[in-house]
Amino acid sequence: MPDQGNRRLLAFDFGTRRIGVASGQELLGTGQPLAMIPARDGIPDWQQVEKLLAEWQPDVVLVGLPLNMDDTENDMCARARKFGKRLHGRFHVPVEMVDERLTSFEAKGDVMAAGGSRDFGRHGVDDRAAVLILETWCREQAG
């Protein structure tokens, strides 16, 4: 594994219908939207996930944890944690959970500001939220 600070990262914004994916490098502290994987009740096409992991070879995989504003967990937190455990179990990659409060809200604002429509499903909100998860984690590591 590379030195801390120079790790390759893959971030997932877990959702029941779509899972956004972003890639990045800790040294740069920024991410790029990569993919939106369709999911059926939170279950992704694991072959697509495997293909992304094989292609990008991340040193750390990040999964957004959608905590409530009062720091409590909700049903989606349990599902996101389960997704993270499955990533670790299936692919033997280190997985870290990242507080993702307001990332989807911020991502929707970014899409709208860039001229996107309110039909967010086709306009990159989930992969943009994954970028924000990745960048949040990088800021926390640097701070």
pLDDT in tens, 34-50: 999 999 999 999 999 99
Helix (H) or strand (E) holding 17: none
Segment 5-28 shows an average pLDDT of 93
Query: What pLDDT is recorded for position 120?
Result: 42
Is 124's pLDDT higher than 80? Answer: no
Question: What is the C-alpha to C-alpha distance for residues 130 and 77, in angstroms, rounded to an integer?
Answer: 15
- Reported as a pLDDT band with limits 50, 70 and 90, residue 62 is very high
Q: Which CATH superfamily is domain 8-142 in?
A: YqgF/RNase H-like domain (3.30.420.140)
Residue with tokens 């692919």: 91
Label residue 121 by pLDDT band (50, 70, 90). very low
Does 80 score more than 90 pLDDT?
yes
